[in-house]
């Protein structure tokens, strides 16, 4: 496992550094009409949003479903779902912040209550609600079951966010990459953008792995505390 962690770390650093170098110095700015240097946010914001919506929420949903399925039910799945959601919150917040930084100079406003932005803000509230729900339940089995059901339910918001720009009129632009047959980004800008998707995806799994290890150790520590307490009571009774 240390092996995986190390290689994930190396892959993350290499791809992130490459994205930064390509994004800041090698790629050309976009035309002035498209924001010039502002378009360099193309190498940050869409990739972070991709991780927030699809990679991390996808991980939580799959792990939650595997927990609910009897054959694959285990506390490992519950922990993966929980840790992925916690990391997801970080990425959703970063999505909103980078989007806002991009929105101010291009749209002229930091925030617009359109369908894309509002549904993303709702996703953040729901993700925080998932974490709060976990804290509200003390019994590990009940917590795992309720969280898994809730995790799958709130993931239903993800397709709504994805299609919001197509279903309704929004200030937010339509999809740049995830529209089949329509790639509208120029040459090296496109490759750098694709690289950023790999970089932030590696980064997510790296963070998830680290967070999982912390959670695993916390669970072990709780087990040791419990065993100590039982031993102490047994000594009292003897």
Q: Is 35 in the site for other proteins (CB under 8 A)?
A: yes
| DSSP run (H or E) holding 163 | helix 157-167
Mask for 50-89, x = binds other proteins (CB under 8 A): ----------------------------------------
Mask for 151-170, x = binds other proteins (CB under 8 A): ----------------xxxx
Helix, strand or coil, per DSSP, at residue 59: helix
> 197: which DSSP letter?
H
Listed ranges 70-78, 133-141, 205-213, 219-227: which one lies at the site for other proteins (CB under 8 A): 133-141
DSSP string across 97-125: HHHHHHHHHHTS-S----HHHHHHHHHHH
Least Cβ distance, residue 165 to other proteins (angstroms) = 9
How far apart CA 53 and CA 224 sit, in angstroms, is 37
Rounded (10°) CA dihedral 109, 117, 54, 151: 140
How far apart CA 204 and CA 199 sit, in angstroms, is 9
Half-sphere exposure of 4 (CA within 13 A, CB side): 9
Tell me the CA end-to-end span of the chain in Å, nearest whole number. 43
* Total interface residues for other proteins by CB under 8 A: 54
Among 47, 92, 126, 199, binds other proteins (CB under 8 A): 126
Least Cβ distance, residue 107 to other proteins (angstroms) = 5
Q: Is 188 in the site for other proteins (CB under 8 A)?
A: yes
Half-sphere exposure of 114 (CA within 13 A, CB side): 20
Least Cβ distance, residue 159 to other proteins (angstroms) = 15
Mask for 87-116, x = binds other proteins (CB under 8 A): ------------------xxxxx--xxxx-
Considering the complex, state which of residue 26 and residue 214 has its C-beta at the smaller distance from other proteins.
26
Q: Measuring CA to CA, how many Å separate 56 from each of 61, 159, 180?
A: 9, 14, 23
Q: Is 117 in the site for other proteins (CB under 8 A)?
A: yes
Q: Is 171 in the site for other proteins (CB under 8 A)?
A: yes
Number of other residues whose CB lies within 10 A of the CB of residue 212: 19
Query: Which residues of the shown chain bind other proteins in the complex (CB under 8 A)?
Result: 26-36, 39, 42, 105-109, 112-115, 117-119, 121-122, 125-126, 129, 132-133, 136-139, 142-143, 146, 167-171, 173-176, 184-189
């Amino acid at each position: 496992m240390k092996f995986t962690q190390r290689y994930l770390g190396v892959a993350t650093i290499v791809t992130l550094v490459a994205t930064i170098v390509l994004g800041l110095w090698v790629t050309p700015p976009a035309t002035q009409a498209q924001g010039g240097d502002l378009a360099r946010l193309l190498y940050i914001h869409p990739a972070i949003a991709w991780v927030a919506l699809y990679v991390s929420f996808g991980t939580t949903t799959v792990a939650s479903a595997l927990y609910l399925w009897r054959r694959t039910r285990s506390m490992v799945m519950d922990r993966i779902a929980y840790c992925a959601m916690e990391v997801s919150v970080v990425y959703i917040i970063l999505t909103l912040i980078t989007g806002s930084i991009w929105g101010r100079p291009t749209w002229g406003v930091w925030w617009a209550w359109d369908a894309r932005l509002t549904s993303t803000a709702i996703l953040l509230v729901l993700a925080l609600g998932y974490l709060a729900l976990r804290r509200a339940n003390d019994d590990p089995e009940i917590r795992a079951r309720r969280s898994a059901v809730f995790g799958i339910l709130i993931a239903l918001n993800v397709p709504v966010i994805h299609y919001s720009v197509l279903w309704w009129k929004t200030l937010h632009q339509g999809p740049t990459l995830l529209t089949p047959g329509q790639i509208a980004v120029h040459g090296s800008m496109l490759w750098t953008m694709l690289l950023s998707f790999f970089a932030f995806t590696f980064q997510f799994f790296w963070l998830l792995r680290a967070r999982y290890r912390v959670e695993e150790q916390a669970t072990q520590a709780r087990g040791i505390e419990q065993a100590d307490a039982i031993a102490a009571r047994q000594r009292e009774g003897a």
